[in-house]
């Protein structure tokens, strides 16, 4: 039941809206005609963020379901760590060093 996280590009992680808001304010201060263009950029960035949120893994699960998945995964990690420790102590993996 493990969820595979898609690898995000640097562009996918950038959801900062402040630079766009700053550009809009600068355009308004200069009485520039670029305000509509900057507003369109902000609107596109907000829409992109909405799409990323809807595509997030686990967004369709309720918080209790997510907690249950987390508990299951933590138990799997705990069990696997215990097995690793057990196998490390068996000395089966001792490889003679080449001289």
In this structure, is residue 98 part of a structural domain? no
Same domain, 17 and 47: yes
| Mean pLDDT score, 31-51 | 86
- Which domain does 85 fall in, by range? 62-92
In this structure, is residue 8 part of a structural domain? no
The pLDDT tens digits for 59-75 are 888 999 999 999 999 99
In this structure, is residue 35 part of a structural domain? yes
Calpha distance 69→49 (Å, rounded): 25
In this structure, is residue 5 part of a structural domain? no
CA dist 49 to 44, 58, 59, 61, 68, Å?
A: 9, 16, 14, 19, 27
The pLDDT tens digits for 82-94 are 999 888 887 665 5
């Amino acid at each position: 039941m493990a969820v595979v996280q898609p690898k995000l590009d640097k562009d996918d992680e950038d959801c900062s809206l402040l630079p766009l808001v700053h550009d809009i304010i600068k355009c308004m201060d200069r009485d520039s005609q670029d305000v509509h263009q900057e507003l369109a950029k902000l609107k596109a960035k907000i829409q992109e963020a909405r799409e990323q949120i809807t595509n997030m893994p686990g967004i369709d699960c309720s918080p209790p379901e997510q907690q249950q998945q987390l508990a299951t995964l933590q138990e799997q990690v705990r069990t696997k760590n215990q097995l690793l420790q057990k196998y490390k102590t068996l000395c089966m993996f001792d490889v003679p060093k080449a001289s």
